[in-house]
Amino acid sequence: MIAKPALLHPADYLDPGLHAAEQAGIFARHWQFVGFAEELAEPGRFLTRQIAGEPVLVINMDGDLRAFRNVCTHRFARLKVAEAGQDSGLRCPYHGWAYDREGVPLGIPGNADCFGLDRAAKQGLALKRFALDRIGRLIFVRIAAEGPSLADAVAPHGELLQRLSDGFGPAFSQVAQPWAADWKIGIENVLEVYHVDAVHPESFRSVVDGSWRVEYQRPHSIGHAGMRAEALRWWEGVGKRLGLLAVPGLDHYVHLHLFPNLAIGITAGRLISVQTYEPTGPGRFTLRYRLCLALGGKQGAARTAVENHLTALNETLLGEDRAIAAEVQIGTASADRPALLGANEDRLMQFHQTLLALKNTHRLASGTPPSHPADEERQENRI
Ligand code: FES
Ligand SMILES: [Fe+2]
């Protein structure tokens, strides 16, 4: 008899204790994509993110990109509240402590009279700094102080990421939306095209032809879907009309999953959708996606019309995925065994295997009692 691979248990998608363990054991340890360099192009430009429970500020300090804990070391006000913006410097909104490029509070109003902090004491009050690295225009942050380099972490896909960085322009559409589902349900949804006929009969089904091939590079993977002839013709026409320079070697629809939560869909070498699935609690995450066209061509009415069309199509198909993901989350609460995965869902099996292996390596475990304490075997399979 063929042994069935161990799979995640439904409780793994619901448990608050496991959510906390994943934040510490997965999201703090892995490089997280935070945005494109052009979003941080000038001094003072910043992004804020929540990574593994840490409020993170990514900011251009006099031309250098830095990642700090987004919390003032005086009385812990958040330094920046907006998700993105530009300020003249890094100054706390509460009492006005001003931080230098190293995150040291050199400007403290009333310091001599009230605190008497010398330079060494101020250095002791520096903002916590996180690792930041980039591949081309793609900026990543890692919360854990130690870990593999970004190049090692994304291998063997560093060259592909560089090609995407070089070949595609800035985002013409950028959205962050809450999903009522565990981040793993969001990822699993994009690891197969089995659901396309049922969930996207009018939207994504008009793009892909149903064929599917997967290449594995543990813990990452790439899916290749054939595109329908009409969709390819549409992209040929649009590409010519707008002067887009198709990125070679990326025909049809290519879907890269970089573990744990970065997914990039590439359509006909001319469109990318860069998606991050950011856990915000047990059973919920924020999907952040950016759409970018290949370089080339000029701005103008024709291009705006194409961008609007692609934005609307993307909104429709993600709305369809978002609705079904919420239903899966609800249903998962009543399930008492792992899902049944077919051969066309083998990419999910690898995802489960990676998560279960992390359990063994990092001893990821729930801090709360399991939902079904009687079932010891289920416990075995929980990450
Ligand atoms: S909390 Fe930031 S200056 Fe007081
Ligand atoms: Fe989908």
Q: How does pLDDT run across 2-51, given as a tens digit for each residue?
A: 456 689 999 999 999 999 999 999 999 999 999 999 999 999 999 999 99
* Residue 170 and residue 24 share a domain: yes
pLDDT mean over 341-369 = 81
Q: Do both 221 and 325 map to the same domain?
A: yes
Q: What is the CA(205)–ligand 2 centre distance, in A?
A: 10
Residues sharing a CB contact under 8 Å with residue 312, sequence separation 6 or more, in sequence order: none
Task: Tell me: do 140 and 161 sit in the same domain.
Answer: no
Whether ligand 1 lies within 6 angstroms of the CB of 127 is answered as: no
Q: Do 78 and 114 have their domain in common?
A: yes
> Do both 203 and 268 map to the same domain?
yes
Question: Nearest ligand to the C-alpha of residue 76?
Answer: 1
Task: Please check whether residue 280 lies inside any domain of the structure.
Answer: yes
Q: Is residue 75 lining ligand 1, measured as CB closer than 6 Å?
A: yes
pLDDT for 123 equals 98
Range of the domain at 328: 1-29+156-383
| CATH code (residue 127) | 2.102.10.10
Tally of domains within the chain: 2
Question: Span 316-339, mean pLDDT?
Answer: 97
- The number of the ligand 1 atom at minimal distance from the alpha carbon of 96 is 3
- Residues 22 and 45 placed together within one structural domain of the fold: no
Clarify whether residues 174 and 220 are in a common domain: yes
- Residue 77 CB contacts under 8 Å (≥ 6 apart), including other chains: 71, 92, 93, 94
> Is any atom of ligand 1 closer than 6 Å to the C-beta of 125?
no
CATH of residue 303's domain is 3.90.380.10
pLDDT, tens digit (0-9, with 9 covering 90-100), for 210-222: 899 999 999 999 9
- Ligand 1 touching residue 97 (CB < 6 A): yes
| Structure-block tokens of residue 382 | 């929980």
Q: Are 226 and 239 in contact (CB under 8 A)?
A: no
The alpha carbon of 217 and the centre of ligand 2 are apart by a number of angstroms equal to 22
* Minimum CA distance residue for ligand 1 atom 1: 75
* Separation of alpha carbons 47 and 35, rounded Å: 8
CB-CB contact of 35 with 58 (8 Å): yes
Q: What is the pLDDT of residues 137-171, one digit of tens each?
A: 999 999 999 999 999 999 999 999 999 999 999 99
Judge contact between 261 and 29, C-beta under 8 A.
no
pLDDT of residue 373: 32
To which H or E segment does residue 57 belong?
strand 54-61
Task: Determine whether the shortest distance from the Cβ of 372 to ligand 1 is under 6 A.
Answer: no
**285 and 167 in a common domain:** yes
- Ligand 2 geometric centre to CA of 3 (Å): 30
In whole angstroms, give the CA distance from residue 290 to residue 168.
Answer: 12
Strands 271-281 and 284-293: antiparallel
Ligand 1: nearest atom to the Cα of 79 = 2
Type of residue at 47: L
**Digit-coded pLDDT (tens) for 106-127:** 999 999 999 999 999 999 999 9
**Within a domain: 151:** no
On the question of pLDDT at 352 being above 90, the answer is yes
Q: Which ligand is nearest to the CA of 188?
A: 2
Same domain for 71 and 195, yes or no, is no
Locate 38 and state its tokens.
Answer: 């052009």
Report the Cα–Cα distance between both ends of the chain, in Å, rounded: 26
Q: 182-198 as b/e, with b when 16 or more CB fall inside 10 Å?
A: bbbbbbbbbbbbbbbee
Tell which one of 91, 95, 106 to mutate to probe ligand 1, the residue whose CB is within 8 A of the most ligand atoms: 95
- Residue pair 227/246 in contact by the 8 Å Cβ criterion: no
> Exposed, middle or buried, 262 (CB in 10 Å: 0-12/13-18/19+)?
buried
Q: What pLDDT is recorded for position 362?
A: 63
Q: Cβ(92) to ligand 1 under 6 A?
A: yes
